[in-house]
Amino acid sequence: MSDNELQFPDDRPDREIGDALRPLLLPDGGEAAEYWNGLEQRIMRGIAEERSSPWSVLASWTRPAAIAAALLLAAASLALTQMRHEEAAVAYGAIAEEQFTVPEASATPTAGADVTVRMLLEH
């Protein structure tokens, strides 16, 4: 238990506090049994209305839907990453396979600088 938690010495109801709160919770001039029975009926009616609501069915779907959405997002991210890696590999392969022409060196010595410049410009 952490230091900031409220601790009670025991779990028994406190009669003094209960007796002080009871008149405040009861309606003016009403009987206690009638009030508590009416309260129970209102609570049970609210629960029945909530269960009959079409939205109450969706409430049980929230956790599975959130898990499914997280898995779908992870799968989509993985697929996108894999696609980008494949595109990069294809682009690298296309560049690596491209044939560059290399000027061949002739066995005979050339006459001058103009022949060398022409040879370089041709390729």
Q: Are residues 35 and 67 in the same domain?
A: no
Show the domain range for 30. 12-59
Q: Are residues 74 and 89 in the same domain?
A: yes
Helices (H) and strands (E) in the chain, counts: 5, 0
- Within a domain: residue 68? yes
Q: Are residues 26 and 42 in the same domain?
A: yes
pLDDT in the model for residue 77? 95
State the amino acid at position 9 in one-letter form.
Answer: P
The total number of structural domains in the chain stands at 2
Chain segment 73-90, per-residue pLDDT in tens: 999 999 999 988 888 888
Using the predicted structure, report yes or no on whether residue 70 has a pLDDT greater than 90. Answer: yes
- Within a domain: residue 89? yes
- Within a domain: residue 46? yes
Q: Are residues 16 and 54 in the same domain?
A: yes
- Sign of dihedral through CA atoms 112, 116, 117, 118? positive
pLDDT in the model for residue 93? 78
Q: Which of 104, 109, 100, 99 is nearest to 120 (CA)?
A: 104
Show Cβ contacts of residue 119 under 8 Å, excluding neighbours closer than 6 positions. Answer: 103, 110
Question: Please, what is the Cα angle at 7 between 6 and 11, to 5 degrees?
Answer: 125
Chain segment 1-50, per-residue pLDDT in tens: 566 777 766 766 678 887 787 777 766 655 666 777 788 889 888 888 87
Find out whether 56 and 50 touch, Cβ atoms under 8 Å.
yes
Q: Are residues 17 and 40 in the same domain?
A: yes
- Within a domain: residue 110? no
Q: What is the Cα Rg of the chain in Å?
A: 42
- Within a domain: residue 80? yes
**Entry pTM:** 0.35
